[in-house]
Amino acid sequence: MNILLIEDNSSIIKGLTYSFTKNNYHITSKTSIKDTKKYIATKPNIDLIIIDITLPDGDGFDLFQNTIKYLNIPTIFLTANDEEESIVKALNAGAEDYLTKPFSVKELEARVNKILLRNIKTSIIKIKDITFDLDKLVLTKNNIPLELTPLELKLINLLFLNLNKVVTRNTILDKIWEWTGNYVDDHTITVYFKRIRSKLGTDIITTIKGMGYRIDA
């Protein structure tokens, strides 16, 4: 997934570049309207844009209205301006979302992930020889359905809904409690994913040691 960040604050650029790169997003940053227009003119593959309203050489709203809007690329406004009028203006202009500074990087990542998933043209995600239908909750390998227990299927669905993002072991524990009403320990989670991996027979699930699990697009 390719993200274009249009922001002139070096601290924010460094922080977001680190966070999104760690989660397997490719992020390119531009600090001005002029540089952004030059970059966009090269017709790069951009899945989502994060843009600050106040830029050194102009207004991010104008850049969106005059250029970005016609590219049909999902856009999140990132700005220190939290006035309701500005938020309404951004959303009415066609922006997907609006986040005010200071902001939580995790919240931004969650919003980005949600938008990217929503804008996938199909509900079917294919990774290597594994295909998962998000709507039908059908998992196949080389077009052959895989038999998973209801809980295993819910765990796989949880990872696909958080594509490119680590799902922590604590989150998984909470979800299993929510789904089944049963308490399970950390070791049980390890056993569940060992069984799931065995049924998949393909290494699409990455273990993040001491944290959780992730599936990368």
Q: DSSP for 148-196?
A: --HHHHHHHHHHHHTTTS-EEHHHHHHHHHHHHS----HHHHHHHHHHH
CA dist 67 and 106 (Å) reads: 28
Indicate the pairing of strand 26-30 with strand 130-133: unpaired
List where CATH 1.10.10.10 sits in the chain.
Answer: 124-215
Q: 24-55: per-residue pLDDT in tens?
A: 788 999 999 999 999 999 888 898 999 998 89
Give the model's pLDDT for residue 187: 93
CA dist 165 and 206 (Å) reads: 10
CA dist 15 and 109 (Å) reads: 12
This prediction has a pTM of: 0.58
Examine residue 145 and say whether the peptide bond preceding it is cis (omega within 30 degrees of 0): no
Extract the residue ranges of the chain whose pLDDT is less than 50. Answer: none
Which CATH number applies to 2-118? 3.40.50.2300
List where CATH 3.40.50.2300 sits in the chain.
Answer: 2-118
Query: CATH top-level class for 124-215?
Result: mainly alpha
